[in-house]
């Protein structure tokens, strides 16, 4: 619950983060629509889609790592990790 409240606080303090998240969600929805439209795929299409998905995840992580919230979020996650 705290994380959701914290995310809202951060989005209000850094509106650019909220805008980037909205753009990312639009890209995700567009990708899903393309997948639905594609129907059945060949093996090479599945491999290409897997590569694109991995590339997109890498870009998302790189974007996240550049955000001011990254260090504090990482710290919170490590603090709560089982020991």
Q: Give pLDDT tens digits along the chain (83 positions).
A: 788 888 888 878 888 888 888 898 999 999 888 877 767 667 888 899 899 999 999 988 888 888 888 888 887 888 877 76
* Nearest by Cα to 48 from 34, 30, 61: 34
Block residue for tokens 């594609």: 38
- Cβ 64 vs Cβ 70: under 8 Å: yes
CA distance linking residue 19 with residue 72, whole number of Å:
20
Angle between helices 2-13 and 15-38 (to 10 degrees): 110
CA distance linking residue 30 with residue 69, whole number of Å:
26
Q: Whole-model pTM?
A: 0.42
């Amino acid at each position: 619950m705290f994380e959701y409240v914290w995310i809202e606080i951060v989005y209000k303090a850094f509106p650019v983060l909220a805008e980037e998240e909205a753009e990312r969600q639009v890209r995700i929805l567009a990708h899903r629509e393309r997948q639905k439209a594609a129907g059945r795929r060949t093996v090479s299409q599945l491999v290409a889609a897997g590569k694109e998905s991995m590339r997109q995840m890498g870009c998302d992580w790189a974007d996240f790592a550049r955000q001011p919230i990254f260090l504090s979020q990482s710290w919170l996650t490590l603090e709560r990790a089982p020991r």
